């Protein structure tokens, strides 16, 4: 066997390892019995019907709202920050850059614990739940937007802005008609990564939830204490499919490939 053929064989096993558990989860959700039999015995949509009951749709919608708002707000904060950091040199710039990347460096779990204590000690305990979660998610999502927008800004030839200025465009007009359209992909990519990061987060959310106000990941985690339920398999598949569909659509419309290296996060 040639080395390349051997490598290909190894790679097939790695793909089986990576995708197997996900495919088994999907298969089990159609099981006729309420056990995790695989291969599934019979076919039944009953678990999927239950997955679409209010008990599961509510945390799913909660997660979706949270992620959408976190993506929107964090991108709005990231845009000026990225401009400030990549277009200006000023005293304290390195400190601001470190602060910006901080939420990526520090485990989200620790930020969650810190925020919980902050809310408790300043007497804002009542704001745990959606408000606290939104604040936490915005904070851990800001670095994604700053990085993708900064990448776009750096790829922009300075001559374009000079050309616009020499043709009489004001700085605001240059920004609106030249710079912003050209960095649009970076802005969109940052927002998408932020959405996915927020939607899949569990380490931060864990500490900031309250009954009735929890994202789907925390809800699933809590439910697992009662053991296996095929409904959970169906819910998992839905939770998994949502960001996948979103990313596929955005990739089609505006492209994300160039920014994948900026998407790496910590758990």
Q: Which is nearer to another protein, 168 or 227 (CB)?
A: 227
CA–CA gap between residue 26 and residue 21 (Å, rounded): 9
Smallest gap, in angstroms, from Cβ of residue 212 to another protein?
17
User: In the Cβ-directed half-sphere of 157, how many Cα atoms lie within 13 Å?
Assistant: 5
Are the C-beta atoms of 183 and 90 separated by less than 8 Å? no
Among 42, 91, 168, 181, binds another protein (CB under 8 A): 91
Find where tokens 């598949």 sit: 237
Stretch that binds another protein, among 42-50, 53-61, 105-113, 168-176 (CB under 8 A): 105-113
Stretch that binds another protein, among 47-55, 64-72, 101-109, 168-176 (CB under 8 A): 101-109
- Helix (H) / strand (E) element for 67: namely helix 54-87
Subset of 40-69 contacting another protein (CB under 8 A): none
Q: Which is nearer to another protein, 24 or 46 (CB)?
A: 24
How far apart are the two ends of the chain, measured CA to CA in Å?
39
User: In the Cβ-directed half-sphere of 213, how many Cα atoms lie within 13 Å?
Assistant: 14
Subset of 144-203 contacting another protein (CB under 8 A): 146-147, 150-151, 153-156, 158, 161, 196, 199-203
247 is a site residue for another protein (CB under 8 A): yes
Smallest gap, in angstroms, from Cβ of residue 257 to another protein?
7
Q: Give the residue among 29, 23, 22 at the shortest CA–CA distance from 232.
A: 29
Among 8, 65, 176, 177, binds another protein (CB under 8 A): 8
């Amino acid at each position: 066997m040639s080395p390349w053929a051997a490598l290909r064989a190894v790679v097939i096993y790695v793909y089986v390892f990576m995708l197997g558990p996900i495919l088994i989860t999907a298969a089990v959700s159609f099981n006729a019995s309420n056990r995790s039999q695989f291969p599934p015995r019979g076919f039944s949509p009953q678990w999927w019907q239950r997955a679409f009951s209010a008990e599961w749709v509510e945390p799913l919608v909660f997660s979706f709202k949270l992620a959408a708002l976190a993506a929107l707000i964090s991108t709005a904060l990231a845009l000026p920050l990225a401009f400030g950091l990549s277009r200006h040199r000023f005293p304290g710039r390195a400190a601001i850059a470190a602060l910006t990347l901080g939420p990526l460096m520090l485990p989200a779990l620790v930020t969650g614990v810190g925020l919980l204590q902050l809310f408790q000690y300043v007497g804002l305990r009542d704001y745990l739940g959606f408000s606290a979660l939104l604040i936490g998610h915005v904070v851990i999502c800001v670095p994604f937007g700053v990085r993708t927008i900064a990448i776009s800004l750096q790829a922009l030839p300075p001559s374009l802005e000079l050309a616009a200025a020499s043709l009489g465009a004001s700085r605001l007009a240059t920004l609106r008609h030249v710079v912003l359209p050209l960095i649009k992909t970076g802005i969109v990519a940052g927002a998408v990564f932020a959405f996915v990061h927020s939607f899949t987060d569990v380490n931060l959310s864990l500490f900031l939830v309250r009954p009735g106000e929890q994202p789907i990941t925390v809800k699933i985690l809590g439910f697992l204490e009662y053991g296996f339920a095929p409904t959970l398999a169906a819910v998992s598949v839905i939770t998994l499919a949502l960001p996948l569909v979103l990313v596929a659509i955005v990739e089609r419309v505006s492209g994300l490939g160039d920014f994948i290296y900026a998407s790496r996060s910590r758990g």
